[in-house]
Structure 1
Amino acid sequence: MLSFLALAFSAAQAPATLDGKWTVDLSSEPGKPYTQPMDLTLNADGTVSGSFYNSEIQAGRWKRARGRLCASFRTTDGVGPYHSSVCLVGERAEGQTWAEQRKFLFNWNAVRTAP
């Protein structure tokens, strides 16, 4: 019973949401950290707003289904679109970004930004 209460209290402390500020680890080489900010707002109508890699989210959707909370959104670098998707996994986020014009797909992880 006590462990159930502790789990319920813990869940109340950290809501299972992608909303908020994140630090995205885009490092491609061990020992060379490279991070960028992500700020997501999951709107009640199912859309996503905010920014990723200092680029405003142009369009996006989110959904909670099959035991997962995920979002997909589009940003740009001024040359072409970047399509990103992210899912909440425990207390962190796991995502990927596809840049068609640059011909790459990049997998990344994110942690909540400290207040």
Structure 2
Amino acid sequence: MSATELALAMTQAAAEAAADKLGTDLMAFDVTEQLAITDVFLLATAANDRQVGAVVDAIEERLREDFDARPVRREGDRENRWVLLDYLDLVVHVQHTEERAFYALERLWRDCPRVELAVEEGR
């Protein structure tokens, strides 16, 4: 079983929103085979705390506008070092550069299929 079309569409929209706010190192993984709780993990990096907040806000706005979706859970927004947005089918991790390097979530999920993102970073 693989990620639903809705999860993939939301992932693409979230990645575009992140790129619009200069989010980098965008990666998505189809985790349906490993986890029963979600379909896709999207990882994004931001250069500083304020940018983490801007990327998170842009993702939330885009998914609310395009899919009428709101996160069921939002964690880490006080420090803006690592913010998690849980949309059930999609979990978004927006991390400060240092947290992304230290935790290296992409290593944890490297055995999962990558979701191709049609996004131009650094626009």
Q: Which has the higher helix share?
A: 2
Higher strand share: 1
Structure with higher RCO (Cα < 8 A, 6+ apart): 2
TM-score, length of structure 2 as denominator length: 0.30
TM-score normalised by the chain length of structure 1? 0.31
